[in-house]
Amino acid sequence: MDLLIPKNINKDRVLKYVQGENNPDNILAIIDKVLPKVLDASKPKATTFSCDYIPDELILGEDIKKHLSGCCGVLLFAVTLGTEVDKLIRKMQFESVLDQVVCDAVSSVLIEEISESFEEDLKKEYLSKGLYLTSSYASGYGDYPLSTLSFQLKILDAHRKIGVALTNSGLMSPRKSICVVLGVSKSPVKGFRAGCEHCVKNLDCKLRKEGKTCVR
Across the chain, mean pLDDT equals 90
Go through the domains of the chain in sequence order and give each one's CATH number: 11-209 (3.40.109.40)
Taking each continuous run of H as one helix and of E as one strand, the counts in the chain are 8, 6
Give exposure, 196-214, as e/b (b: 16+ Cβ within 10 Å): eebbbeeeeeeeeeeeeee
pLDDT digits (tens, 9 = 90+) for 98-141: 999 999 999 999 999 999 999 999 999 999 999 999 999 999 99
Does 36 sit behind a cis peptide bond, omega within 30 degrees of 0 on the bond before it?
no
Q: Contact, 97 vs 91, CB < 8 A?
A: no
Helix (H) or strand (E) holding 199: none
User: Under DSSP, is residue 181 helix (H, G, I), strand (E, B) or coil?
Assistant: strand
pLDDT digits (tens, 9 = 90+) for 17-69: 998 767 788 999 999 999 999 999 999 999 999 999 999 999 999 999 999 99
